[in-house]
Amino acid sequence: MIGYTEILQTMLAMILVSMLIINSNRAIAINNRVQVDTELEDQIIAIAQDYIDESRSVTFDASTANGNVPVNIPGGFSSIGPGGGENSRSSFNDFDDYDGWTETITATDNIDYDVSISVSYYNAGTVTASKSTLKQMTITITSDLLTSNGANKIYSFNFIRSFYAD
């Protein structure tokens, strides 16, 4: 029995070391995951800001394009959505043309980000079907590399634009 004592002690030590290694590897894996997620999430925020900036550079409504102002505000505003022939970002000329827009952006890190945008009229803290002087843009971005419980994480960004703040 004396000869086996050292072996038993060694086996116990190996079990302890194995647990140490497993926990250490888990910590390293979490660190790596956090590093990558942080980098990708920064890029997602930048992409959302790109769309917000871009949508601010066009007019609030189709009826206010070319410097016009409708007689009735907000009744004279157009319906949400792109007009005829407005099927690309370069042809969008007002804020709500981005409604329904979907696109896959390949960033400089060669990672694809799926973008979808919806625009609605907004009033009293909620989206509304009736016309108002506020519009809310919701930008939703996902990436196959950012997952949680097996599903892609959804990153949503809201931007509210006012006709009077133009």
Partner 1 sequence: MDAGLIFSYVIAGFLMILIATVSLNTSNSSSELTLQETQKRKISDVIEVITYDIPKIGYNSNTLPDTLLKSVSSSHIEFYSNIDNSIDGSVELIRWEFSSDQVTDTQNPNDFILYRIVNGISSSITSGITSFTLNYYVELGSNTPLTMPISAIPNKSTIDDIVQIEIVMNSESGIPLKYGSGSASNRYLESSWSKRFSPVNLRDN
38 binding partner 1? (CB under 8 A): yes
Binding flag, residue 40, partner 1 (CB under 8 A):
no
Say whether the peptide bond before residue 82 is cis (omega within 30 degrees of 0): no
27 contributes a contact to partner 1 by CB under 8 A: yes
**Phi, psi torsion values for 18, nearest 5 degrees:** -60, -45
Q: Which two tokens stand for residue 110?
A: 């060669």
Alpha-carbon distance of 20 to 14, in angstroms, equals 10
Among 19, 35, 147, 154, binds partner 1 (CB under 8 A): 35
Burial of 38 (0-12, 13-18, 19+ CB in 10 A): exposed
Considering the rule CB under 8 A, would residue 160 count as an interface residue with partner 1?
Answer: no
Q: What is the maximum alpha-carbon separation in the chain?
A: 101
Binding segment (CB under 8 A) for partner 1, from list 50-58, 68-76, 128-136, 142-150: 50-58
> Between residue 82 and residue 141, which ones bind partner 1 under the rule CB under 8 A?
88-90, 92, 107-109
Rounded to whole angstroms, the Cα distance separating 138 from 109 reads 25
Query: What letter would DSSP give residue 71?
Result: S
Contact flag: residue 49 with partner 1 (CB under 8 A): yes
Q: Specify the residue, 31 or 162, whose C-beta has the smaller distance to partner 1.
A: 31
Which of residues 87 and 147 has its CB atom nearest to partner 1 in the complex? 87
In the DSSP assignment, the letter for residue 59 is B
Question: How far is it, in rounded angstroms, from Cα 121 to Cα 136?
Answer: 6
Of the two residues 67 and 75, which places its CB atom closer to partner 1 in the complex? Answer: 67
Q: Which residues of the chain form contacts with partner 1 (CB under 8 A)?
A: 3, 6-7, 9-10, 13-14, 17, 20-21, 24, 27-28, 31-32, 34-35, 38-39, 42-43, 46, 49-50, 53-54, 56-58, 88-90, 92, 107-109
